[in-house]
């Protein structure tokens, strides 16, 4: 969980966590902070295979500024760049390319909830309706129950 997104001690998650801690189950909290520009640059360098670490610094800087280093948002923003053709492989130059000016103009989601909400809006209308119905039922739903609604 992310402390900044689930901060209320009355939240069901914290209630469940308190119950678990009262048992013999061992629970370890691992705090993971946001990624740095350097972290993002190293990942980009490793994934897209440029010959010099400095070649991905500008892209890493843009991604860092757009996402604040949130690992989920970094990952999703990179996928978005690929899906929209804003990050592409040039067979002629045998390397990855991107248009810095275009990337600078792109918005990114502020948190995971915004990201998921936006992704849902791109789903077909019938799928959106099914998700709305399922949300009324709970966190799990059998397809036969959904068909009855």
In a domain, 86, yes or no: yes
Structural domains of the chain, count: 1
SS3 5: coil
Q: What is the mean pLDDT of the chain?
A: 83
Q: What is the pLDDT of residue 59?
A: 94
Q: Per the domain annotation, does 127 fall within a domain?
A: no
pLDDT tens for each residue of 17-33: 888 888 988 888 888 88
* Torsion sign over Cα 14, 18, 23, 24: positive
The helix or strand, by DSSP H or E, that contains position 27, with its residue range, turns out to be none
Q: Is residue 44 part of a domain?
A: yes
CA distance 50 to 14: 44
Does 76 reside within a domain?
yes
Say if 73 falls within a structural domain.
Answer: yes
Q: Shortest CA distance to 112 belongs to which of 75, 59, 62?
A: 75
Q: Is there a domain that residue 146 lies in?
A: no
Q: Is 126 inside any structural domain?
A: no
Per-residue pLDDT tens over the stretch 78-123: 888 888 899 999 999 888 999 888 888 877 766 667 777 777 888 8
Structural domain range at position 38: 34-108
Q: Is it the case that residue 38 has pLDDT exceeding 90?
A: yes
In the structure, how many helices (H) and strands (E) does the chain have? Answer: 8, 2
Q: Is the pTM of this model over 0.85?
A: no
């Amino acid at each position: 969980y992310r402390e900044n997104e689930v901060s209320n001690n009355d939240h069901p998650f914290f209630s469940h966590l308190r119950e678990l801690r009262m048992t013999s189950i061992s629970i370890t909290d691992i705090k993971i902070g946001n990624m740095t520009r350097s972290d993002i640059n190293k990942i980009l360098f490793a994934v897209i295979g440029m010959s010099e670490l400095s070649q991905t610094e500008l892209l890493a800087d843009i991604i860092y500024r757009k996402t604040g280093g949130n690992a989920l948002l970094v990952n999703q923003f990179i996928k978005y760049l690929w899906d929209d053709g804003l990050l592409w492989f040039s067979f002629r130059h045998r390397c990855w390319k991107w248009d810095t000016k275009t990337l600078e103009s792109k918005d990114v989601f502020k948190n995971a909830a915004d990201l998921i909400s936006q992704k849902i809006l791109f789903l077909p209308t019938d799928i959106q309706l099914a998700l709305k119905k399922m949300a009324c039922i709970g966190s799990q739903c059998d397809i036969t129950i959904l068909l009855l609604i």
